[in-house]
Amino acid sequence: MATATSSINTINRVKIHEVTKITPMMIPDDDELICLPLTLFDTYWLKFLPVERLFFYEVADLTWDLFDSEILPKLKHSLSLTLGLHYLPLAGHMMWPEHAAKPAIYYFLPGQDQKEDIVNGVTVAVAESEGLDFDVLSGDGIRQAVEFRALTPQLSISDNKAEVVSIQITLFPKQGFCIGISNHHAFFDGRSTMMFIKSWAYLCKQYLDMENASSQQQQTTICLPSELIPSFDRAFINENDPKGFDLVYVNNWLSFTGNDRSLKVLPSFNDVNKLVRATYVLTRAHLKKLRDKLLLLEDRNRKTSPNKLHLSTFVLACAYVFTCMVKARGGESDRDVILAFTADYRSRLDPPVPTNYFGNCVGSHTRLVKARDFVEEPAGTGLGGVAFVAHKLSEMVQEIGGGLTIQGFDEEKLVKLMAVMQRVSQGGQGLGVAGSIHFDVYGSDFGWGRPKKVEIVSIDTTGAVSLAESRHGDGGVEVGLALGKQDMDNFASFFDQGLKDLIV
């Protein structure tokens, strides 16, 4: 199940006890392939930075001995089982052979001879905190962004080969533990990531008593709920891509990087050492008040009927947070601001893609505006620029619609996104979104309770904001940010004052 290298190294206030390769449990499936092709939705994200998440679990009085003898073995065993049952491709690597027009995921079936350059398994680092404060890191207040990096697994990516997932499990003595996961953006999206995490958690929690059962018993007894069984069938997408957008995007990347077939990803936008993190909460009451005020403004202006304005929780939260971010940064009012988000296309495509499809099935959407638009406000509304942003986001969401066909996609979509990234690098302000309020991230219970906190670490490299449902299940939204200290202080001031004005 596991091969390990032993090392006791102190890196960024954590001690690395072990780096282990967790291999899939020996549950053969003759129908599995050894090469999983990428689709257009994968090659689009080929060079993007990995997506990194942390799940904090509070376990009082947890010692190393208990962690090492009880928790770690169960996490490792259930991970091996999860990989072997349904998630075997995650134990492979992304490679780009010389004869191939695009990269693919390569892996071998359990029981087959392993080649030196393709070894099934997921890298798991086992670490112990040395001075990091669990309560602080799993809280909402302002924290040093670099401290989260000590808990985040490194995804091994070279010119020729890339891991698709990597995991770190870190003990906080007497407080709890943290599970960190990094995934390659060109292999799976946020919905797929959470499907994998929930599958691992489900098997760990529900089948701990079967840890020592025979392989025969496990094969006949252990199973996942249907919604957690992934489909890796690329035919849903590739057979409906007659224009070959998958290769169009590959060639876009080759042009962008100087014809470089290296699998290495783009550099980070930010210096994490200069950033702080914080989480802000918009309650159900805040969102309702904001929606009511926007609809009243629409009715007063008689520009459109109120029921035509798409004021979803997503639109409301982003409109409010984006407005605070632009005000917090200050600077030239004529500077470019880019609104950006991804939309899940599974149900929007014609024909639709199954909800349990595992891979990328999202599309990016952007809109260029100016900073001044976030500052001007309709007289007497107390809405700041929120009304403007809500209108823009509403338009963007409604334009996506449904019944999308791949044939109708824009061949210049990735080129346009690269141009947007260039604007950001030249001083524009990018306002993107990571995560979703629909992922139920706080439902990831491995058997030691729900997470105390979930963080998307990688927003410190992209500048995006993270969204998640409230951990309290009360209909609110958690918003995570990584900003410079002064910008964060400014943001907090605008955020808090705006809520006070909202409830007047």
Q: Tally helices (H) and strands (E) across the chain.
A: 15, 19
Q: Is 310 a catalytic residue?
A: no
58: how many CB neighbours lie within 10 A of its CB?
18
Q: Alpha carbon of 301 to those of 295, 305, 379, 384: distances in Å? A: 10, 10, 12, 16
Contact present, 357 and 231 (Cβ < 8 Å): yes
Buried b (16+ CB within 10 A) or exposed e, 241-269: beeebbebbbbbbeebeeeeeebebeeee
How far is the C-alpha of 11 from the C-alpha of 29, rounded, in Å?
Answer: 40
Catalytic residue among 17, 77, 93, 185: 185
Hey, what are 306's tokens? 């109120």
Contact present, 359 and 379 (Cβ < 8 Å): no
Catalytic residue among 233, 445, 487, 489: 445
Q: At what angle do helices 284-301 and 485-502 cross, to 10 degrees?
A: 70
DSSP string, 305-358: -GGGS---HHHHHHHHHHHHHHHHH---TTSEEEEEEEEE-TTTBSSPPPTTB-
Q: Is 445 a catalytic residue?
A: yes
Instruction: Name the nearest CA neighbour of 125 among 175, 180, 78, 82.
Output: 180
Instruction: Name the nearest CA neighbour of 370 among 346, 336, 332.
Output: 336
What amino acid positions are annotated as catalytic residues?
Answer: 185, 445
